[in-house]
Amino acid sequence: MPKIKLPTKSPHIDMTPMVDLFSVVLIFLMLTTTMRQPEPAPVDTPFSISEKPTPDFNKMTFLLSKDGKVFMNFDNGPDTLLKYRPKILVEMGKRYGIDFTEAEQREFEKYPSSMGVPIEKMKDFLALKDAKSRNAFQTGIPIDSADNQLAMWILYARKVNPNIQACIKGDSKTSFNVVDKVLDILQDYNVNRFNLITSLEAAKINLDEIQQ
Amino acid sequence: MAEIIQEESAKAGGHKRPKKRVPHIDMTPMVDLMCLLIIFFMLTTAFSKAKVMEIILPEKIQDPNQEAPKISASRTLNIILGPDNKLYWYPGTVKEEDFKNLPPLFETNYSPTGVRQLLLERNRTLARKIAEFNQEVVSGKIRISQDSVQKSISQLKKIDDTGPIVLIKAYKDANYGNFVDILDEMNICGIARYTFMKIAWYEVKMVETAAGITPTASTSAK
């Protein structure tokens, strides 16, 4: 009786469908991704029940770190065709007698995250290339009444883009003094509507809870 | 592709060729690479967008002759964010002249049994209306879109005239988390009228008495 020869070849799995699927997922992720921008200071936002999403554009975000530094960001990340960011920088430069070159404006426009650099040091900050040495300049925007640069940023941001909305992103441990000061400055410039950035946390009250 | 070519060559040429095998490309490295990329993108993608809570503060009074709007004392509820995550409240108003005998502050906390109970108790009528309305929407008795739900709730809030008017004030040692928490409680309890105010000097004094802080110590800490 002839022996039945078992095939010794290793079974070959056709990976084409797998590759197809992976490519689809990959392309989807690549198109939808918005990279998480590294913030100059770590911030744990407090929780709230609000389900309103953050606006995508026309916003200025104030980042209030735990140690009371104030950072600011316009329109988040790379700008649209309107190029608000360089315009705001030029206005700020005019106010403080600093002339920003084209290259510096472009650098400012490209900067992906919040900035907390006093305007006098902005030129040095923009000249640097790597993130680490840049972070050394991130000392927070001065907000005291003697040198209130934050107020000027707000003024020119609103002048360049009248539709800009104020968002406040604070750490839950940030002292209220800082928040209060920022709110105060904003109100001085007639901004009375604020978006407080929070993380979602579900909380609901039931009918019977009220009728107790 | 390879198969089609094979057929054509079979037609053209008369003699038999050894059957061409479909070239097999080993896709494993490609799959490996794709896996890596997918994992990378999944980790770096910020899927959940941060939410925002909107707050509208009253405009600053520019004109010194303009008086602050009068509100009825019986509906007023003052909430003061204290130091060390403490929360104080007192009803009604305190006149500046009465600073010699200030009313005591009641202490509460941010938990559902603390300030939420307090607010719900005072806001019962409106909270019930909102809860009933939500119930009807959920159970399908009323069929309206999400936008009109929000609109109807704000209309309910607008016509409400029994709920408390909450004035939120912050002692200087409070933190931002407290501020968001208390505004969140306002939203949870459906308080129609609340605002954030500057703390008055006599209220600072009240907090300091209640929390047992000596005023000199707190000023030196500042």
CA–CA dist B183, B192 (Å, integer): 12
Q: What is the CATH number of the domain that holds B83?
A: 3.30.420.270
Whether residue B198 contacts residue B174, with contact meaning beta carbons closer than 8 Å, is answered with no
Whether B8 maps to a domain, the answer reads no
Q: Are residues B117 and B130 in the same domain?
A: no
Whether A188 maps to a domain, the answer reads yes
Q: Are residues B84 and B154 in the same domain?
A: no
Whether B150 maps to a domain, the answer reads yes
Element (H, E) at B125: helix B124-139
Q: A135: how many CB neighbours lie within 10 A of its CB?
A: 15
Q: Are residues B97 and B179 in the same domain?
A: yes
Whether B181 maps to a domain, the answer reads yes
Whether B88 maps to a domain, the answer reads yes
CA–CA dist B12, A17 (Å, integer): 34
Whether A171 maps to a domain, the answer reads yes
Q: What are phi and psi of A61, to 5 degrees?
A: -110, 130
- Closest residue to A36, CB basis, from B34, B44, B170: B44
Closest Cα in chain A, distance from residue B72 (Å): 24
Residue in chain B nearest A50 by alpha carbon: B53
Q: Are residues B97 and B158 in the same domain?
A: no
Whether A111 maps to a domain, the answer reads yes
Number of structural domains found in chain A: 1
The answer to whether B56 contacts A183, with C-beta atoms less than 8 Å apart, is no
Per-residue model confidence (pLDDT) at position B215: 64
Q: Are residues B156 and B173 in the same domain?
A: no
Whether B93 maps to a domain, the answer reads yes
DSSP string, A42-53: ---PPEE---EE
A107: pLDDT strictly greater than 80: yes
Number of structural domains found in chain B: 2
Whether B48 maps to a domain, the answer reads no
Q: What are phi and psi of A180, to 5 degrees?
A: -60, -40
B2: pLDDT strictly greater than 50: no
* Structural domain containing residue A95: 47-200
Could you report the per-residue pLDDT of A168-201, keeping only the tens digit for each? 888 888 888 888 888 888 888 888 888 888 888 7
Closest Cα in chain A, distance from residue B15 (Å): 31
Whether B53 maps to a domain, the answer reads no
Q: Are residues B128 and B211 in the same domain?
A: no
Question: Which two tokens mark A199?
Answer: 């993380």
Residue with tokens 């410039």: A189
> Which of A9, A205, A206, A208 to probe by mutation at the B interface, max B CB count within 10 Å?
A205
Could you report the per-residue pLDDT of A120-177, keeping only the tens digit for each? 888 888 888 777 778 888 888 888 877 888 888 888 888 888 888 888 888 888 888 8
- Hey, is A198 helix, strand or coil? strand
CA–CA dist B209, B111 (Å, integer): 23
Closest Cα in chain B, distance from residue A201 (Å): 10
* Structural domain containing residue B133: 124-162
Could you report the per-residue pLDDT of B115-169, keeping only the tens digit for each? 888 888 888 778 788 888 888 888 877 777 777 877 888 887 777 777 788 888 8
